[in-house]
Structure 1
Amino acid sequence: MTRTITPAPVRPTAARVLWFAVSLIVLAVMFAVSVAVGSANLPLSTVWSALVSPDGGIDHSTIRTLRVPRTVLGVLVGAALGVAGALMQGLTRNPLADPGILGVNSGAGFAIVAGVAMFGVTRIEQYLWLGFAGAVVAAAIVYAIASRGPGGANPLRLTLVGVAFGAVLTGASQTLALINPDTFDRFRYWDAGSITDRPDGTVSAVLPFILIGLVLAFACARALNALALGDDLAKAVGARVGLIRLAGVVAVTLLCGAATAAAGPIVFVGLMIPHAVRLLVGPDQRWILPLALVLGPVLVLTSDVIGRLVIWPAELQVGVVTAFLGAPVLIALVRRGKPGAS
């Protein structure tokens, strides 16, 4: 038995525009805070001068080469995971759906561990491409298996196959990592989910895939509103259900694969953000996706800043903080959910 998404109240357009504007302001504030806060306690005047008139000193280099790329990566990862989560919940009509349901995170993790264990991969640049390839292959296998049989890749079959295949890959990754201690040492930092100390070129490497995924996701927005009525009614109003679902799976794969390859499996962003967005703007996917694009980075940057401050001058990885924030949300969603058919 699946759970249905409780319909959110329809909001006036003016209220939606207001929430979107407020979200943009909050994102700008968190971007500034992320650049200003770190293990090195630098005054705001130094941060500002590093951005507008850098002198090449250590403090200015810290801002420009470490904090700014870290913050930009946080925005990209948050946007990718937030939109992917909203898209996944819209495709499956399941409020507990998460991008990891397609085995994307597990596929990325397995590819990286296999690369380290079998081919001696040591550079994070190689992790990036291995992780992305693993995510794409895993999602393709899940979709291919779920497509077999009557009805094609319906939401229930996608969910079951994705969870089962992800569990297999996770077990295989853990086995390889435990057999080879060196593999485990290299893998565990990425596996915690982090946007710090990424190699040069990470942003430029994942940006094209995230942009393509976002374009595909937004192209599905109107059709997702029809899909929310159910497959039969969606077909009756002219929606091409199979094509929509395929495009959505490709978009989720690109978004989650790129984000996971770059920053590791950061959990719960794709779960929490869509629920928060529906409370603000209602059930229309044409508004849910843009707001998820903005609030996803807000959550990632806020979690990253909390991770820098809570055990300062050391840091907690952003994936650890989002897990702490997301676990209570998941429990609340399970408790309030009403059984039903999707």
Structure 2
Amino acid sequence: MAAVLLVLLLALCVASLLIGTGSTAPGRAWDYLLGEHTARADPQLRLAVVDVRLPRTLAAVLVGVCLGTAGCLLQAATRNPLAETGLLGVNSGAAFAVVVGLTFFGASSATALLVWALLGGMAASAVVLLLAAGGRAAGSPLRLVLAGSALGATFHGLTSYVLLGTQSTFDVYRYWTIGSLAGVRTADLLPLLPLAAAGVLVAFGCARPLAALGLGDDSARSLGHHPGRIRLVVAAAVSLLAGCAVAVAGPIAFLGLLAPYAARALAGARMAAQLLLSALVAADVMIVADLLARVVIRPWETPVSVLLAFVGGPLLVWIARSSRLSTAGAAS
């Protein structure tokens, strides 16, 4: 199944390079990819394929892999099949940091917003980890969720307070917070690749401890693992992955929740397979959503987050009502 999803991902990447909101025909873009002389000499074609569509394709893969892996980690660590990355306060921390950067430091470029979002998301997660690390219940699922929810609500209130007095900041923030891959540049993605790679490596390194954790905390301890430490390491990895995703595309809902659910249905209880399939499923879905965003109301664009919400909302209701919900949590 992983091979099928990988082949599908490659095919979708090619389609992403061929299809856009502009007037460039897919046939001409295909000629460019094949190295046809007249196509390579066309600066307009190079602009469309290399400068616009290629960064968006890479960004969609990066965001999908990060959110899929982070969601799978979080659901396994908390044994909650409805958990998603917003629980650790990453989205609200990134949003508050963007507003602060816009209002008090004059950040206006895409690169500046990316840096502020990344720093805000990771800072919020660091605070959650500190709040959840102390005491006898260190690293427990309930403590992580409560700390993340409390901090998220605090950041949301602060963000609203700052936005009330600055209309110009609100205009820019409104565009960022809808979640989109428009305007992403390859240069913006390169600094995030090492962080995302580190998060993915930590995720797969946690596969065996998380499998033991799925049997229950007492069983994990009897096998020589420390549940609190495992969850804190997982939370740190989730912070890296979700911070990178939010920095690139803004808050993207549902993807980090739905991809792990699909991965569990395909992989069963095998944790490493769940992580791999969740990353691939999320990357595939993200590229499909971005392709649809370009063509649904051409020549304008629909925000990716809106399309994912149309699919994710009803599907989440179905999951919540499904009799398989409890078994999905146990399989993690």
TM-score of the superposition, structure 2-length normalised? 0.93
Q: CA deviation at 1:122?
A: 1.2
Does residue 45 of the first structure (1) align with residue 27 of the second (2)?
A: yes
Corresponding residue number in structure 1 for 2:166: 180
Distance 1:61 1:313 in 2: 17
Distance 2:216 2:326 in 1: 18
Does residue 265 of the first structure (1) align with residue 247 of the second (2)?
A: no
Question: CA offsets, 1:67-110, max 9 Å, x none?
Answer: 01110111011000000000000110001100110001111111
Q: CA deviation at 1:56?
A: 4.2
Distance 1:28 1:327 in 2: 27
Q: Identity percentage over the alignment?
A: 38
> Secondary structure of the residue that 2:233 maps to in structure 1?
helix
Q: CA deviation at 1:338?
A: 4.8
Does residue 288 of the first structure (1) align with residue 274 of the second (2)?
A: yes
> 1:123 is matched with which residue: 84, 92, 109?
109
Distance 1:145 1:240 in 2: 18
Question: CA offsets, 1:189-247, max 9 Å, x none?
Answer: 11111111024511102111101100111100111100101111101011232332222
> Secondary structure of the residue that 1:197 maps to in structure 2?
coil
Does residue 252 of the first structure (1) align with residue 234 of the second (2)?
A: no
Distance 2:185 2:155 in 1: 26
Corresponding residue number in structure 1 for 2:4: 22
Distance 1:171 1:312 in 2: 36
What aligned pairs does 1:136-151 form with structure 2 within 5 A after superposition? Answer: 136-151=122-137
What aligned pairs does 1:71-150 form with structure 2 within 5 A after superposition? Answer: 71-150=57-136
> Secondary structure of the residue that 2:182 maps to in structure 1?
coil
* Equivalent pairs, count: 324
Distance 1:177 1:230 in 2: 44
Which segment drifts farther, 105-114 or 55-64? 55-64
Distance 2:122 2:59 in 1: 20
> 2:265 is matched with which residue: 276, 279, 285?
279
Corresponding residue number in structure 2 for 1:167: 153
Contact between 2:88 and 2:144, CA under 8 Å: does it hold in 1?
A: yes
Contact between 1:308 and 1:314, CA under 8 Å: does it hold in 2?
A: yes
Q: Which runs of 5+ in 1 are unaligned?
A: 1-18
The aligned amino acid for 2:81 is P
Corresponding residue number in structure 2 for 1:35: 17
Corresponding residue number in structure 2 for 1:196: 182
> Secondary structure of the residue that 1:201 maps to in structure 2?
helix
Contact between 2:128 and 2:147, CA under 8 Å: does it hold in 1?
A: yes
RMSD (Å) for aligned C-alpha atoms? 1.8
